[in-house]
Chains A and B, each alone.
Chain A
Amino acid sequence: MKIIPKKAAVKKKRPLRKPVAEKSVNSLKKTAWDKGAYAAGCRSVGWFWPKSIDGEPPENIQWERTINVRWAKWFGKHAFRRVPRLSYPLACGRFIRGFCETANIDISSDLLLPTTKSVCCVLTVKNEAATLQAQLNELRRLPFEEIIVVVNGSTDNSYEVARNHPVQATVVHFDSALGYDVGRAVGARMSHSDMILFLDGDMTIRVDLLLPFIYEIEKGADVVLNPISSLLPTFERRDSVSNIKQFLNICLGRRDLHADSLTAVPHALSRRAIEKLGTSVLAVPPVAQERAVRLGLSVVRSPVTVDVITRNRLRKQNVGLGNRVEHLILGDHLEALHELMGNFGPRLHFPDSMRQRHLIEEGADESV
């Protein structure tokens, strides 16, 4: 457990909204669930490693993974609908403390994954050394199976930062820029994990915001989108990119997804999704989304929004490249619609049963 000095505790900003949702979602008896985490951590040690006589831990064990598997099993017993926002980090901390003190070891993570499956993080980076460093520091807090950094077209020290970071990421380097979203496909291709989280190097996302994405997949989803629609303004002030995202979802028969899209990070894919979709299609995210829905994968929105609009990647692009990126994304969605029409015809599931089109060619009954 970290001990926060008093000064820092005073300075710390209070959250704008009080988290009340947690209590209403989970039943009342679960509110004290995190109190048992320390004891559970202690107990977990004995399950696989009866304390040896001299008290020295056995070597050649991946402690992070081991603790995580124990934790995920214990956490899974509570059958939460969502990852409890406040109590989850507390419980993780207690569990780790209990485990480490009993087993007499030390680990670098201070959070644990809500799943026994292996999780991979794919980061695409192009001249983003500063934010990359911060993001990798964040990722170190969770015991990921793999972290894959795809560095492309970088002229700064992004590669060195990724290479030298203690998180021991797998780094792929391309001299030339791969183009939008191709890095995601490259990263996904290299991964062997049960689920993949996609991030961008140009922003730092707090790692606890990623947990709901992972938990949704753990519960059986294949594609988890970042629900940024909730951050959008009223319709009259929306941009054409948001509009076409929403339009594609309506065409897919998924109005409930609003304007959420694989174009936005972070998002998560299950191994099943990767196998069904293939990795190359991830380079054109709307097409991947179209295929995911069409092939019957479970596409859901994460319960927690990661605000990528205000601090943001879009703004940066809109200033410089603006129109060009907009056209790229419009083109991507057109590609998705084109594929959809190839499968279901030009009108998809919006039939025209009323129009007597043949009458346009023929004449009238009578003219007066």
Chain B
Amino acid sequence: MTNEFNPRDPVAKPKLSVVIPARNESTTIAYVIEEARSVHPESEVIVVVNGATDRTAEIAAQMGAKVIRYSAALGHDVGRSLGAKEARGDIILFLDGDIVISTDLLTPFVQAVENGADVALNKYQGRVNTKNVHNVVLSKRVLNALLSSSELGASSMTTIPHAISRKALRVIGCDNLAIPPKAQAIALTSGLHVAQACFVDVGKVNPKRRKSPDPLSQLIVGDHLEAIHWLFSQSDSRANRSDLGRQRERVRD
């Protein structure tokens, strides 16, 4: 993996790397960076600007963040993968360019990793006090149950903020961060310590999705299927779940 400490860099290796994918986020990016930088004294901020037509990159650079620039839009979560490749810290915190989260709420994620967790997730569960559940929330919950981690509820690496340790990054692999549920499946099956750190209500600030079928939720359900597919590739078609002694051979067609 290419994301080890870079000796050519004059700056000392930071403790925390904050990865922020951003598109046209010139109105919020400055605040996001400011809050993120205060989380830890030794930190670097990496902003992955992609498909931007406004001044997002310039603002980020002015704020002293490391900016990785792509002219084309990368699509969902690919920025995390590319940002993580550049990260040099022991802890990597993932944020979004359009959601400003205060330092107080970000600190618990970093602390959780400092205290031994490999992946620190947002406790956010989505809207659950309903009978008509959203596909995305359901997918998250199903995946955790399939990974024998029902206690995580619908907490997911799809949701920001979340922080991971350097070890987790090595085990999961930078590339897999682009498909967050797959990254989560890898983390949980390889015995990494996945914990819930803090509740950050990202549902309030996420833009309301009205279109049906909503392309983003379709994408996220697909991601979870990809994670399940990865699970199959690691085991069998039942993911090593018992049949409780079914005598299938009794009936043949």
Binding site for B on A (CB under 8 A): 174, 176-182, 185-186, 189, 232, 234-236, 240, 243-244, 246-247, 250-251, 255, 278-284, 321, 324-325, 327-328, 330-332, 334-335, 337-339, 341, 346-348, 350-352, 354-357, 359-361, 364-368
Report the minimal beta-carbon distance from B72 to chain A, rounded to whole angstroms: 6
Contact A364 B82 (CB under 8 A): yes
A367 to B141, CA, bound (A): 38
Residue from A177, A235, A283, A347 whose CB has the most chain B CB atoms within 10 Å? A235
A-B contact pairs, 7 of them (CB 8 A): A178-B246, A232-B131, A327-B242, A334-B241, A341-B229, A354-B215, A368-B66
Interface string of B153-175 (1 = CB under 8 A from A): 00000000000000000000011
Stretch from B105-113, B116-124, B132-140, B194-202 that touches the partner: B132-140
B225/A337 in contact, CB under 8 A: yes
Query: What's the minimum C-beta distance from B163 to chain A, rounded to whole angstroms?
Result: 21
With A180-B246, A185-B251: A367-B74 Cβ-Cβ less than 8 Å: no
Q: Judging by beta carbons under 8 Å apart, are B178 and A243 in contact?
A: no
Cβ–Cβ < 8 Å partners of A178 in chain B: 246-247, 250
**With contacts A179-B244, A240-B141, A283-B248 known, what are 5 further pairs, Cβ within 8 A?**
A179-B243, A232-B131, A255-B135, A328-B244, A367-B86
A365 to B237 CA separation, bound complex (whole angstroms): 42
Which residues of B have CB within 8 Å of A174? 250
CB-defined contacts of B61 to chain A, threshold 8 Å:
368
State whether the Cβ of B68 lies closer than 8 Å to any Cβ in chain A.
yes
> CA of A135 to CA of B141 in the docked complex: distance in angstroms?
37
- How distant is the Cα of A328 from the Cα of B125 in the complex, in angstroms? 26
**In the complex, what residues of B have CB within 8 A of residue A179's CB?**
243-248
Judging by beta carbons under 8 Å apart, are B242 and A328 in contact?
yes
A350 B221 Cβ-Cβ under 8 A: yes
> Which residues in A have their C-beta under 8 angstroms from that of B241?
327-328, 330-331, 334
Pick from B66, B142, B219: contact of A350, CB under 8 Å: B219
Known contacts A347-B225, A352-B222; A334/B238 CB under 8 A: yes
Specify the chain B residue showing the minimal Cβ separation from A232: B131
Question: Is B150 part of the binding interface, using a Cβ–Cβ cutoff of 8 Å?
Answer: yes
**In the bound complex, CA of A346 to CA of B137 (Å):** 20
Give chain B nearest CB distance to A272 CB in angstroms: 15
Among residues of B, the one whose C-beta sits closest to the C-beta of A336 is B237
Kindly provide the distance from the CB of A150 to the nearest chain B CB, expressed in whole angstroms.
10
B71 within 8 Å of A (CB atoms)? yes
From residue B174, how far is it (CB to closest CB) to chain A in Å?
8
B90 touches A (CB below 8 Å): no
Size band of the interface chain B makes with A: 35 or more
Interfacial residues, chain B to chain A (CB-CB below 8 A): 57, 61, 66-78, 81-82, 86, 125, 128-131, 133, 135, 137-139, 141-142, 145-146, 150, 174-175, 178, 215, 218-219, 221-223, 225-226, 228-229, 231-232, 237-239, 241-248, 250-253
**Contact of A331 with B239 at beta-carbon distance under 8 Å, contacts A182-B247, A338-B232, A365-B70 already known:** yes
| B residues less than 8 Å from A339 (CB atoms) | 237
Q: What A residues does B67 contact at CB under 8 A?
A: 367-368
- Bound form: Cα–Cα A354–B174 in Å: 19
Q: Is the CB of B129 within 8 A of A182?
A: no
In the complex, what residues of A have CB within 8 A of residue B71's CB?
365
Q: Could you tell me if A234 and B129 are in contact, using CB atoms closer than 8 angstroms?
A: yes
Q: How far is the CA of A357 from the CA of B70 in the complex (A)?
A: 13
Nearest Cβ in chain B — how far from A12, in angstroms? 32
Q: Cα distance A96–B61 when bound, in Å?
A: 87
Q: How far is the CB of A302 from chain B (nearest CB, A)?
A: 19
Contacts of B128 in A (CB 8 A): 234-236
| B82 x A359 contact (CB < 8 A) | yes
CA distance A339 to B129 in the complex (A): 33
How far does the alpha carbon of A179 sit from the alpha carbon of B130 in the complex, in Å? Answer: 35
Q: Once the chains bind, are B129 and A236 in contact (CB under 8 Å)?
A: yes
Q: Are B253 and A176 in contact (CB under 8 A)?
A: no
